[in-house]
Amino acid sequence: MTERLATKIVDLTGPGLTDRFGIGGTDLGATATAPQGHLVSVFGDTFREAGVGGPGWRSPVVLFADPASVPTGLRWTGAAGRRNGRARQVVRYLHHGWRRHGMRLRRITTVLPTDLITVGDEMFLHVMVCRELGNVRWTELHRSRDGGRTWRPTGTRWPADLHDGLFQMLTWERGGDGWVYALTTGFQRAHGLLLHRVPEAELTDPDAWETWGLDGDRWGWGNPPTIVLPGRFGELSLRRVPADGGERWVLVAFDAGHYCLDVRVLDGPTADMHRAPLATVLRGCDWDGEDHAAGHVAQLYGGYVLPGSTLRDLHLVVSQWNTATGWPYRAMQFRADVADLP
């Protein structure tokens, strides 16, 4: 396996960085460009103090950044929130509360973002409604028509057991052909990936989504879903990036089975994942073995491609959580070069 180990550019969240938004500890950080041109980053479980737990628990929260700041580290310019600048929870619910699903009330603990996308003048956010980490009640879509400042439910929901539970964690990208392509898996870091597509104009219609699968020995759309890449995957990020005067697709995936963050370079969403050029850009390690300048990160996860990235200058938002002490619990920015992979 090829290694192109990334180096850390900056810490993105934590004391001295996001205090003014009421953010001490947070994670995730999937990012997209708003119709107005600014960057919108969505984070998961967030707390006022540095670490996990304590006051100010909310999820998801949204920060805005200057796109020109990507090469040297995201510069936060604001938050979706109140006039005091504090980042608020953008999906309405109560932690450890109840939400109605169909005719039943379901106990939930948190709502976690998986990815967001811009289509025309609107942004869409896919979230997992969870009872606890790894236990998804259902997933749903929210929409913003003001560049990520406010979000409203679209009414679109999917059951947690759809496709044998492999339509929970999602990443997506516009194909430039009128379709949105999505890769999905479960939220248990124990499963492989499925591929789907949906017309851009029908993103909120569950019946318009199609699966990619094998029928006999031929792959095709509308076939029963078939695993396109086996493994034990967690967070995912699928994006198109410029490359050599054209563009390529990149899939960044947290591989829990091998405790690393990998990048696959694809010719398109239906490319053979088994044969795609592959590079490991971050390796997990023990806390006493950390070296962020050499791509070794303890308790890493995430790995979201930042807008403006190229194959040679690939910028990723990576999370880290010391589950023993509660801190670090933060998002960081790393840079990798995955051009000219064999």
pLDDT in tens, 212-263: 999 999 999 999 999 999 999 999 999 999 998 889 999 999 999 999 999 9
Residues 27-78: pLDDT tens digits? 999 999 999 999 999 999 999 999 999 999 999 999 999 999 999 999 999 9
CA atoms within 13 A on the CB side of 17: 19
Distance of alpha carbon 159 from alpha carbon 163, whole angstroms: 9
Distance of alpha carbon 86 from alpha carbon 148, whole angstroms: 15
Residues contacting residue 246 through CB under 8 Å, at least 6 positions apart = none
- SS3 of residue 102 by DSSP: coil
**What is the reported pTM?**
0.96
- Geometric angle at alpha carbon 319, from 263 and 96, rounded to 5°: 125
Distance of alpha carbon 286 from alpha carbon 203, whole angstroms: 41
For the chain, domains (ranges, CATH) are 2-336 (2.115.10.20)
Nearest to 256, CA basis, from 178, 207, 193: 193
- Give the number of residues written for the chain: 342
- SS3 of residue 340 by DSSP: coil
Scan for tokens 């070296």, then name that residue. Answer: 291
Residues facing residue 242 across a β-bridge: 247
Residues 89-115: pLDDT tens digits? 999 988 876 666 666 767 889 999 999
In angstroms, what CA-CA distances link 199 with 141, 154, 185, 215, 291? 15, 16, 20, 22, 43
Write down the pLDDT at residue 203.
98
Give the mean model confidence (pLDDT) for residues 285-291: 98
The answer to whether residues 282 and 294 touch, using CB atoms and an 8 Å cutoff, is no
H/E element, 199: strand 191-199
